[in-house]
Amino acid sequence: MNGMSFHQLPSSSPAAGGGLGRVMSVVLGLLVWAMLAMLGLVFAASLAIWLVVMVVVSLISSLFTGRPAAVTVLWRRYREMTRQRWPQQHPGSATPRADAADVTGASVPTRVQDVHWREVPAAPKAPAPRQQP
């Protein structure tokens, strides 16, 4: 043992508080669950409302500007990508390391160019800093 004492939390079993304690724990549990469910519903409803509002605003603005709505542009791009079956799915290979080399370009032959070596002159020493009185 390490000498630290920990106090045990009160029991959460229904028998610990008697009949009234059980009823209160069930009621409070249902209230907490209902509150969290309502918060989730409010969030989902507000998100849906803003989505509808922004789509309507985009469609109305497209009527005045003559440009296609953002929703229309996104839908067209999505349809174009699905027609091209993007991204292409290649069948698996028995040599995954070779496949990775193909993807990264490591297996592509490159032109190697020899270079001549040369001496690099040492950097000139900096003068010592002057001390101010």
How does pLDDT run across 2-17, given as a tens digit for each residue?
566 666 666 666 555 5
Tally of CB atoms within 10 A around 88: 6
Q: What is the pTM of this model?
A: 0.42
Closest CA to 95 of 103, 84, 87, 83: 103
Least confident piece of the model among 33-42, 55-64, 121-130 = 121-130
